[in-house]
Amino acid sequence: DTGVSQNPRHKITKRGQNVTFRCDPISEHNRLYWYRQTLGQGPEFLTYFQNEAQLEKSRLLSDRFSAERPKGSFSTLEIQRTEQGDSAMYLCASSYLDTQYFGPGTRLTVL
Amino acid sequence: AQRVTQPEKLLSVFKGAPVELKCNYSYSGSPELFWYVQYSRQRLQLLLRHISRESIKGFTADLNKGETSFHLKKPFAQEEDSAMYYCALTALGAGSYQLTFGKGTKLSVIP
């Protein structure tokens, strides 16, 4: 296990298309987080899972965004009807308690 | 609401000079503070957390509750310290441990 992995690393899409990202956490970690990072900003919290339950969602997570974590293992983040404002780095992190370990991120570009 | 402020976007120091990266926070409860670092082309990684009171790579940070600050310090900067540094906060006992990040400070160590 080499840490949190994310796929794809880069995604270019046209406005209006749907995209899905995957995150594979560190295997024994029960907590999984999604963050979004735009240029010049720090990461911003989107949503949090404990095992398979999605326990918190930020107001940044509009109804076009949905996240799942079936069986408490990997997680997917889907964005429907992408907009240019969705262009960002999407980061996944996992933890057992309070120290979060981050993946390399998926960079989304919406044309 | 939680807020983290890093007043400097960019900090340039000469090799061997002392470094201080500023971080101020706003939170009414009990915070846990972290410093994360991102080296060029690498993922975000934990540098240190205030609860552990460790010194990592020569860096230290002291939580000052009176001044609501968690400044990162190193007595002698090295070229390999050049990176992006993010201060982050989580609410102790809140359950999710979601992180609130500052906007980051880019440290450039001049040879």
How far is it, in rounded angstroms, from Cα B88 to Cα A30? 21
Is any Cβ of chain A less than 8 angstroms from the Cβ of B37? no
Q: Which residues of A touch B96 (CB under 8 A)?
A: 31, 48, 50, 55-56
Structure-block tokens of residue B13: 């120091």
SS3 content of chain A, % helix, strand, coil (to 5): 5, 50, 45
pLDDT tens by residue, B49-84: 987 777 789 999 989 989 999 999 999 999 999 999
pLDDT at A1 > cutoff 70: no
Spatial contact of A12 and A80, defined as CB atoms under 8 Å apart: no
Determine the residue of chain A that is closest to B46 in CA distance: A101
The position carrying tokens 């971080």 is: B23
Cβ atoms of residues B103 and A42 within 8 Å: yes
The answer on pLDDT for B26 being more than 90 is yes
With an 8 Å Cβ cutoff, is A39 touching chain B? no
The pLDDT tens digits of the residues spanning A58-111 come to: 888 889 999 999 988 999 999 999 999 999 999 999 998 878 999 999 999 999
Q: Is the pLDDT of residue B94 over 70?
A: no
Interface test with A, best of B21, B96, B106 (most A CBs within 10 A): B96
What residues of B are in contact with residue A67 (Cβ under 8 Å)? none
Give the SS3 label for residue A81. coil
